[in-house]
Structures are given as C-alpha cells and as structure tokens.
A and B are shown apart, each in its own frame.
Chain A
Amino acid sequence: MGITAIVFWILSALTLFSAIMVLVSKNPVHSVLWLVATFFSISGHYIMLNAQFLAIVNVIVYAGAIMVLFLFVIMLMNLNTKTEMKKNLWMKLGGVISGGMLLWILISVVRTYAEQSKGHPKIASVNTGEIGLIKNLGHVLFTQYALPFELCSVLFLSAMVGAVVIGKKN
C-alpha cells in the first residue's frame, strides 16, 4: 500500500466521521464546526487529486464564508436556551432505513462496476496533471465559459436582493 493509498484512507475516514458527527451533535454550533472539519478533509482530497485551486476555494468559500454565515445566524437566534424538539423515534428509524437503502443500492452499483472493470479499472490519477492549476482553469473559464461566468454575477445580484427583501423587517 503506497503513501497515497494511506493518505486516501485516512482522509476518507476523517471525512465520513466528521460528516456523521454533523448529524449526531446536539448543539448546532458543534455541527457547524464538524462541517468545517468535513470541508477541510474534502479539500485534502482535492489537493491529493492535484486540484489546488479548488482546494483553496473550498477552504475560503465553504469553510470560511458560508460557515461563518451559518455561525452568524445561529448566534443571532440564541438557540441554546431551548432544546430541539425530539422527532418521533419511528420517523427517525424510517429516515435511517430509507437513507441506508439508498446507500445500499448505490454501493451495489459501484461494486458491480468494480467487478466488471476488473482487468482495466479507470484510474483517478493522483499527484499528477495540470488541469487543476489556476492558470489552466482561469484560461478555460474566461474563454470557453465566459457567458456562464457572467450569468453567475447576475445570479449573485438577484440572490443578494432576494436575501435583503426576505430578511427585511416589515
């Protein structure tokens, strides 16, 4: 087992553990912190796949901006005084069972694929490749994807206006 495989398994275990802790934490602030840990380990995966730009953007935008927004809202609401009402135990069990069945189906699809491609598996090349570098990504973004990029700014403007209109006191 090479060093990349070891790093992959450690990062995967970290990702899944912190993702589960997001669900089971009682305090919403702890959930936010575990989600930040999840994003950091996903960024580790991006670095391993040589997608440095996306790794940095993931840390800055998700773990930085979006999670701080979540924290602001949680602090604003002062939720810690009253506990979250318990959902019906049967509802919880049903949710876990339906999610587990989804996982089961998808994993069995992956296993079937793994068996069929036994001799010539598709390899996600780690630690090599140029496509994740900001030079190449920026070039393609501003030539081939210039129109979607500009449409994103319109989307952001409308989201900003919408958030202000919804959040306004009337």
Chain B
Amino acid sequence: MPIQYYIALAVTLFSIGVVGVLIRRNAIIVFMCIELMLNAANLLLVAFSKTHPATSVAPLAGIDGQLFVFFVMVVAAAEVSVGLAIIVMLYRNTHSVDVDFLNRLKN
C-alpha cells in the first residue's frame, strides 16, 4: 500500500481523538481519546517502519520504529495507571468525573 493511505488513516484517527478530548466532559472518555491519539501515532510508526525495503547490507532497516511503538505502549500503561488513580481521587472528592470540576482538587 502507498504510505499516504496509512498517513491519512492515522491523521483521521488522531483528529477523532482531538475532537473527543474537546467535546466530552467525562474524564474517563477524555482519557480514552488520549489512548486513541497514542494508537494513531503507533500505527503511523509501524507503517513508516515498513517503508524501508530490506537489503542484504541492512536486513533489519526500520526496526527502530517498531521498538518505539513498544516503548510508547510501556509509557501509555504507566500513564493510564496514574491517570486512573487521579480520576478515582477526583470521584472520591467531588462525586463526579466531570473534567470541569478538576480545579476543586486544589485544596
């Protein structure tokens, strides 16, 4: 497949994530949209890693892209655990997961 189809797909997925972050007030759904954006970036990295044809000199050209996807997944897992803890604390303090109430955590 020509690479521009993959770029267009990943860009559309990323924009859907951006729209979700902007229009939803539920903190959990905002969080899921952030995961959507991370996955769009992952898809793009994998697609770009496959644009290097393997030669006899460099049989593993482009493998760095797939390793970066691996690291992005690691960071996303760590981010989700901390973020969900914050959301649980928000719910415990305000009995709501509305992102507009996040400023009530100040004191």
Instruction: Assess whether B26 is in contact with A84, with CB atoms less than 8 Å apart.
Output: yes
Q: Output the residue of A20, A65, A66, A123 with the most chain B CB within 10 A.
A: A66
Q: Given A69-B80, A159-B78: A62 and B39 within 8 A (CB)? A: yes
Residues A125 and B53 in contact, CB atoms below 8 Å apart? yes
Given contacts A31-B29, A35-B35, A38-B36, contact A92 B77 (CB under 8 A): no
Q: Which of A91-124 contact B (CB under 8 A)?
A: 91-92, 94-96, 98-100, 102-103, 106-107, 110-111, 113-114, 117, 121-124
A28: chain B residues at CB < 8 Å are 26, 28-29
In angstroms, Cα B91 to Cα A167, docked, is 11
Say whether B13 contacts A123, CB under 8 Å. Answer: no
Q: How far is the CA of A126 from the CA of B23 in the complex (A)?
A: 36
> Which of A23, A79, A91 is the one whose CB lies under 8 Å from B16?
A23
Residues of B within 8 A of A95 (CB): 19, 22-23
A residues in contact with B3, CB < 8 Å:
121-124
If A28-B26, A32-B32 touch, whether A152 touches B81 (CB-CB below 8 Å) is: no
* Inter-chain contact A140/B28, CB cutoff 8 Å: no
The answer on a CB contact under 8 Å between B82 and A162 is: yes
Extra contacts besides A54-B42, A106-B15 (4): CB < 8 Å = A12-B9, A16-B16, A51-B46, A156-B78
Q: List 24 A-B contacts (CB under 8 A).
A: A16-B13, A19-B16, A20-B16, A23-B19, A23-B29, A39-B39, A49-B50, A62-B35, A69-B80, A76-B88, A94-B22, A102-B18, A103-B12, A113-B4, A121-B3, A126-B1, A131-B60, A131-B62, A141-B70, A152-B74, A155-B74, A156-B74, A159-B79, A162-B82
Q: Which residue numbers of B lie inside 8 Å of A, CB to CB? A: 1-9, 11-20, 22-26, 28-29, 31-33, 35-36, 39, 42-43, 46-51, 53-54, 59-64, 66-67, 69-71, 73-82, 84-89, 91-92, 97-98
